[in-house]
Protein backbone atom coordinates (compact mmCIF):
# COMPACT_ATOMS: atom_id res chain seq x y z
CA UNK A 1 0.00 0.00 0.00
CA UNK A 2 2.80 2.38 0.90
CA UNK A 3 4.55 1.65 -2.38
CA UNK A 4 1.37 2.36 -4.35
CA UNK A 5 0.86 5.66 -2.55
CA UNK A 6 4.48 6.65 -3.13
CA UNK A 7 4.17 5.77 -6.81
CA UNK A 8 0.95 7.79 -7.09
CA UNK A 9 2.58 10.84 -5.48
CA UNK A 10 5.56 10.52 -7.81
CA UNK A 11 3.31 10.36 -10.89
CA UNK A 12 1.30 13.39 -9.78
CA UNK A 13 4.47 15.38 -9.01
CA UNK A 14 5.92 14.43 -12.39
CA UNK A 15 2.75 15.52 -14.16
CA UNK A 16 2.73 18.85 -12.35
CA UNK A 17 6.39 19.39 -13.20
CA UNK A 18 5.70 18.64 -16.86
CA UNK A 19 2.80 21.12 -16.97
CA UNK A 20 5.01 23.86 -15.50
CA UNK A 21 8.23 23.06 -17.36
CA UNK A 22 7.09 21.82 -20.78
CA UNK A 23 8.59 24.01 -23.52
CA UNK A 24 6.33 26.35 -25.48
CA UNK A 25 7.22 26.34 -29.17
CA UNK A 26 6.51 29.77 -30.72
CA UNK A 27 6.14 28.09 -34.13
CA UNK A 28 3.15 26.20 -32.74
CA UNK A 29 1.45 28.99 -30.80
CA UNK A 30 2.36 32.34 -32.42
CA UNK A 31 0.73 31.59 -35.76
CA UNK A 32 -1.83 33.43 -37.91
CA UNK A 33 -5.35 32.99 -36.60
CA UNK A 34 -7.57 30.69 -38.63
CA UNK A 35 -11.01 32.00 -39.67
CA UNK A 36 -12.74 29.84 -37.02
CA UNK A 37 -10.44 31.26 -34.34
CA UNK A 38 -10.89 34.83 -35.54
CA UNK A 39 -14.69 34.61 -35.70
CA UNK A 40 -15.24 37.10 -32.92
CA UNK A 41 -18.71 38.28 -33.85
CA UNK A 42 -20.06 41.53 -35.17
CA UNK A 43 -20.16 43.44 -31.90
CA UNK A 44 -16.74 44.85 -31.00
CA UNK A 45 -15.72 43.93 -27.48
CA UNK A 46 -18.15 41.01 -27.25
CA UNK A 47 -16.29 37.96 -25.94
CA UNK A 48 -17.42 34.70 -27.52
CA UNK A 49 -16.67 31.12 -26.54
CA UNK A 50 -14.56 29.39 -29.15
CA UNK A 51 -14.96 25.71 -28.43
CA UNK A 52 -14.91 24.30 -24.91
CA UNK A 53 -11.48 25.70 -24.00
CA UNK A 54 -11.18 29.02 -25.77
CA UNK A 55 -12.60 32.48 -26.29
CA UNK A 56 -12.24 35.23 -28.85
CA UNK A 57 -12.93 38.96 -29.05
CA UNK A 58 -12.59 41.66 -31.69
CA UNK A 59 -11.27 44.99 -30.40
CA UNK A 60 -11.79 48.19 -32.38
CA UNK A 61 -9.30 51.04 -31.90
CA UNK A 62 -10.47 54.32 -30.42
CA UNK A 63 -10.97 57.20 -32.87
CA UNK A 64 -7.58 58.31 -34.16
CA UNK A 65 -5.89 55.10 -32.94
CA UNK A 66 -4.50 52.43 -35.27
CA UNK A 67 -4.79 48.69 -34.68
CA UNK A 68 -1.00 48.63 -34.10
CA UNK A 69 -1.27 51.18 -31.29
CA UNK A 70 -4.16 49.22 -29.77
CA UNK A 71 -2.06 46.03 -29.94
CA UNK A 72 0.80 47.84 -28.17
CA UNK A 73 -1.60 48.93 -25.40
CA UNK A 74 -2.88 45.36 -25.14
CA UNK A 75 0.70 44.08 -24.87
CA UNK A 76 1.38 46.49 -21.99
CA UNK A 77 -1.82 45.35 -20.24
CA UNK A 78 -1.08 41.65 -20.79
CA UNK A 79 2.43 41.95 -19.38
CA UNK A 80 1.00 43.69 -16.29
CA UNK A 81 -1.29 40.69 -15.70
CA UNK A 82 0.02 38.31 -13.01
CA UNK A 83 1.71 35.13 -14.31
CA UNK A 84 1.58 36.35 -17.93
CA UNK A 85 4.63 36.56 -20.20
CA UNK A 86 5.17 37.24 -23.88
CA UNK A 87 6.01 34.12 -25.86
CA UNK A 88 6.75 35.89 -29.14
CA UNK A 89 5.74 38.76 -31.37
CA UNK A 90 5.43 42.52 -31.25
CA UNK A 91 2.98 45.25 -32.11
CA UNK A 92 5.19 46.14 -35.07
CA UNK A 93 4.93 42.58 -36.38
CA UNK A 94 1.14 42.69 -36.03
CA UNK A 95 0.89 39.59 -33.86
CA UNK A 96 1.76 38.78 -30.24
CA UNK A 97 1.28 35.58 -28.26
CA UNK A 98 1.36 35.52 -24.46
CA UNK A 99 1.33 32.64 -21.98
CA UNK A 100 -0.81 33.09 -18.89
CA UNK A 101 -0.56 30.47 -16.14
CA UNK A 102 -3.10 29.48 -13.51
CA UNK A 103 -2.22 30.36 -9.94
CA UNK A 104 -2.08 26.95 -8.25
CA UNK A 105 -1.07 24.36 -10.84
CA UNK A 106 0.48 26.63 -13.47
CA UNK A 107 -1.68 25.40 -16.36
CA UNK A 108 -0.73 27.47 -19.42
CA UNK A 109 -3.24 29.32 -21.59
CA UNK A 110 -2.06 30.87 -24.85
CA UNK A 111 -3.43 34.22 -25.98
CA UNK A 112 -2.74 35.43 -29.51
CA UNK A 113 -3.65 38.93 -30.68
CA UNK A 114 -3.44 39.88 -34.33
CA UNK A 115 -4.03 43.16 -36.12
CA UNK A 116 -6.35 43.46 -39.08
CA UNK A 117 -7.14 46.45 -41.28
CA UNK A 118 -9.51 48.00 -38.73
CA UNK A 119 -9.37 45.88 -35.55
CA UNK A 120 -7.37 43.55 -33.32
CA UNK A 121 -8.62 40.00 -32.91
CA UNK A 122 -7.67 38.17 -29.71
CA UNK A 123 -7.92 34.39 -29.32
CA UNK A 124 -7.30 32.76 -25.93
CA UNK A 125 -7.11 28.98 -25.55
CA UNK A 126 -5.92 26.27 -23.21
CA UNK A 127 -3.06 23.88 -23.81
CA UNK A 128 -4.03 20.99 -21.55
CA UNK A 129 -7.46 19.54 -20.90
CA UNK A 130 -10.82 19.89 -22.57
CA UNK A 131 -12.50 22.68 -20.60
CA UNK A 132 -11.30 25.89 -19.06
CA UNK A 133 -14.44 26.66 -17.00
CA UNK A 134 -14.69 30.13 -18.58
CA UNK A 135 -11.20 31.28 -17.55
CA UNK A 136 -10.19 32.41 -21.06
CA UNK A 137 -13.44 34.31 -21.62
CA UNK A 138 -13.13 35.97 -18.20
CA UNK A 139 -9.56 37.06 -18.99
CA UNK A 140 -10.63 38.58 -22.30
CA UNK A 141 -13.55 40.38 -20.64
CA UNK A 142 -11.20 41.84 -18.01
CA UNK A 143 -8.67 42.94 -20.64
CA UNK A 144 -11.42 44.44 -22.81
CA UNK A 145 -12.81 46.39 -19.86
CA UNK A 146 -9.35 47.63 -18.88
CA UNK A 147 -8.60 48.79 -22.43
CA UNK A 148 -11.83 50.78 -22.67
CA UNK A 149 -11.47 52.54 -19.30
CA UNK A 150 -10.58 56.23 -19.65
pLDDT in tens, 20-76: 778 999 999 999 998 877 776 667 888 988 877 899 999 999 999 999 999 999 999
The per-residue pLDDT for 73 is 98
The residue-averaged pLDDT of 121-134 equals 91
Percentage of residues in the chain with pLDDT exceeding 90?
Answer: 63
The per-residue pLDDT for 121 is 95
Q: pLDDT category, 4, cuts 50, 70, 90?
A: confident
In tens, the pLDDT along 81-122 reads 999 999 999 999 999 999 999 998 899 999 999 999 999 999
Between 8 and 126, name the one with better pLDDT. 126
The per-residue pLDDT for 45 is 86
C-alpha pair distances (Å), 55 with each of 31, 51, 62, 122: 16, 7, 22, 8
Between 118 and 11, name the one with better pLDDT. 118
Domains in the chain with CATH codes: 24-148 (3.30.310)
Amino acid sequence: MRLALGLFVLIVAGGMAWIRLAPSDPARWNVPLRPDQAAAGDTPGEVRQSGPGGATVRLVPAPGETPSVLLARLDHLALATPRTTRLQGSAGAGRITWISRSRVFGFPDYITAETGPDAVTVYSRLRYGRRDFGVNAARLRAWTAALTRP
